[in-house]
A and B are shown apart, each in its own frame.
Chain A
Amino acid sequence: MTGVAYACTLIALIPLVAIIFETVRQGLPAWDAEFFTGLPSTYGDGGGVSNAIVGSAIIVGMAGLMAVPVGILSGIYLAEYGDNRLGGFLRFVADVMTGAPSIVIGILGYSVFVIATGQSAGIFGSIALAILVLPVVIRATEEIVRLVPGDLREASLALGIPRWKTIMRVVVPTALSGIVTGVILAMARAAGETAPLLFTVGTSSFMSYNPFEGQMMTLPMAIYEQSAYGGDVLETAWGGALLLLVIIVTLNLIARLVFKGHSVR
């Protein structure tokens, strides 16, 4: 059994490590000054991804602005008031939705917003991403708020402090590092999603800071578009993949450090 278990771990780690290795090997040559400052093109040397970095930051940031407050408050509700049938139902819905196919959310965004307004916009992509990561934020918040010891709540309540104030001033600050971890992980997931942006945001070869009008470029969409070409354009796509990988691994590491630094007491 020991041998089989070792073998499984090795078999699994080989392709997975190969992905990271290949992305670094193929993507690193693309990282020059132009890669970070230029605009993408589908000919020549492929240009850069500056507008994709800006676009991804704006779209994911706005998705966070929508999903994080709703997610945290829902998570608090589930942890503090959710031990009944309604809570059970809401929790179950959130669990099930963490596995929802992202492309369905994407065509939903298209059917609702793009058809109604007749154009693509970054904000539509943000809404799709927000729907996608909302269940992740809810469940992460709930699990961490549940870990806060009952003693703390009781001590605060015994001082005559109302429950809502206890939650906001005692429970949430105690659980804050865990909540931040959950939010960072959710944002990392949103940053890598392509399918929800396909029909809501599209691609663009220009710099755009306005998420409310017109198409924008994002990192996953830049990779998707440029990987259809060969030569140096493809190399730029690999460079984009490497950048995406670096961002996501960094976010995961930060999340881990935040959680380790001040874990729930």
Chain B
Amino acid sequence: MKVISEFFKKVRRGAPGDKIFQAIALTVSLVLPLTILAIFVVLWRQSEISREMFGIGFIWDSTWSNSEQVFGALPVIYGTVVTAGVAVLLAGPVGLGIAAFLAEIASPRINSVVGFVIEILAAIPSIVYGIWGFFVFGIFLREWIVPPTQFLFGWIPFFQGTFVISTVFTACLVLSVMILPTVAAISRDVLNAVPGDQREAMLALGATRWEMFSKAVLPYAKNGVLGAVFLGLGRALGETIALTYVIGNSQVLFDTFFQQGSTMAQSIASLFGASTSNVLRSSLLEIGLILFLLTFLVNVGARLLVRGISSQPTESG
């Protein structure tokens, strides 16, 4: 008893209390890294059947056959990279444009209104983008966008084929709309972190606003903007539910934008629940592992780039 009361006396005096508090806080902080470790271990062990059957060739095998029970990850990796890549190419420049508008041109009032709208949009759930993409946007594309696109660019192999609503084309566009708020919000924070002196010095030399932005602000913010685009890429790579509506769930190496396709995350969501085959389940878990590694690497890259410029990277997605 005496020991315990001495202990509490010490705790009241301070020093051990600090140590205890710090130890508790540290222990709790380790929950997240341990969870990540657990994710790797579990996915690694659960994908054993697939790893033993298909080996490392799983990554570049393009066969996807339910009847032969042979699965290769290439079609879904290809689909993921193409859709996310196109989405970033579309959303990156537009997102930077919005960020430039907010940081350089808009009055404080417009800035706070548009800024708030963008934050709300970043919070719209993926499933809402999904049903909108399929029931509204897909039909809009079929009626208004695809006929002129095929009329003008139909000679390019990428744009051939018959448009059914769920296609790679729809998926790329929906993804770019989804990642736009993320890219715009983080680019804006990065541009805001560029010191005002940088701009004033340039303007004092008689530069126009465009010269000021392109020669003084952009070079300074280059890495941060690239980081914002990478964060958008990370989001696009892992996007799941919206794509189950708009890409068509077809594990093939599509060669035009108007074909159906699939991505890693979307295939897991569409096939995992209904599958009764252990081989398919295990393959999907291995795809999950590859996806986790891929997004992990992209996000590491993004964070290193964003951290370079602003001391407080923010996430609004």
Binding site for B on A (CB under 8 A): 1-2, 4-9, 11-13, 15-16, 18-20, 22-23, 26, 69-70, 73-74, 76-78, 80-81, 89-90, 92-108, 110-112, 131, 134-136, 138-139, 143, 160-165, 167, 185, 188-189, 191-195, 198-199, 220, 223-224, 227, 234, 237-238, 241, 244-245, 248-249, 252, 256
Contacts and interface: CB of A to CB of B under 8 A. Distances in A.
Contacts of A103: 238, 240, 265, 268-269, 288, 291
B101 A5 contact: yes
Contact of A101 (B32, B131, B265): B265
Contacts, number: 259
Interface stretch (B11-19, B65-73, B149-157, B252-260): B11-19
12 contacts: A12-B180, A18-B137, A19-B121, A99-B235, A101-B295, A104-B238, A162-B17, A191-B125, A195-B240, A195-B241, A220-B125, A241-B131
A1 B25 CA distance: 49
B46 to A, nearest CB: 5
Given A12-B97, A111-B285, 17 more contacts: A1-B214, A5-B97, A5-B105, A8-B95, A12-B184, A16-B117, A19-B128, A74-B31, A99-B231, A99-B235, A100-B238, A103-B240, A104-B39, A107-B43, A134-B31, A192-B127, A199-B273
Contacts of A6: 101, 105
A96 B230 CA distance: 12
Main secondary structure, interface of B, reads helix
A165 B210 contact: no
Contacts of A108: 38-39, 42-43, 288
A101 B291 contact: yes
B97 A16 contact: no
Nearest to B100: A5
Contact of B288 (A104, A135, A198): A104
A13 B42 CA distance: 41
Interface in B23-50: 24-26, 28-33, 35-36, 38-39, 42-43, 46
Contacts of A22: 132, 136
Given A74-B28, A77-B26, A99-B299, A224 B127 contact: yes
Contacts of B269: 103, 106, 195, 198
A194 B238 contact: no
B133 to A, nearest CB: 9
Contact of A77 (B29, B116, B123): B29
Given A18-B136, A81-B26, A104-B291, A249 B17 contact: no
Main secondary structure of the interface of A (DSSP, over half): helix
Contacts of A220: 125, 127, 241
B101 A9 contact: yes
Contact of B240 (A93, A99, A102, A160): A102
Interface of B: 13-15, 17-18, 20-22, 24-26, 28-33, 35-36, 38-39, 42-43, 46, 93-98, 100-102, 104-105, 114, 116-117, 119-121, 123-132, 134-137, 177, 180-181, 184, 208-210, 213-214, 231, 234-235, 237-241, 245, 265, 268-269, 272-273, 284-285, 288, 291-292, 295-296, 298-300, 302-303, 312-315, 317
Contacts of A105: 39
Nearest to A234: B135
Contacts of B272: 107, 110, 198-199
B131 A237 contact: yes
Nearest to A146: B312
Contact of A99 (B35, B114, B245, B302): B302
A143 B42 contact: no
Contacts of B130: 227
Given A1-B213, A93-B32, A105-B39, A81 B25 contact: yes
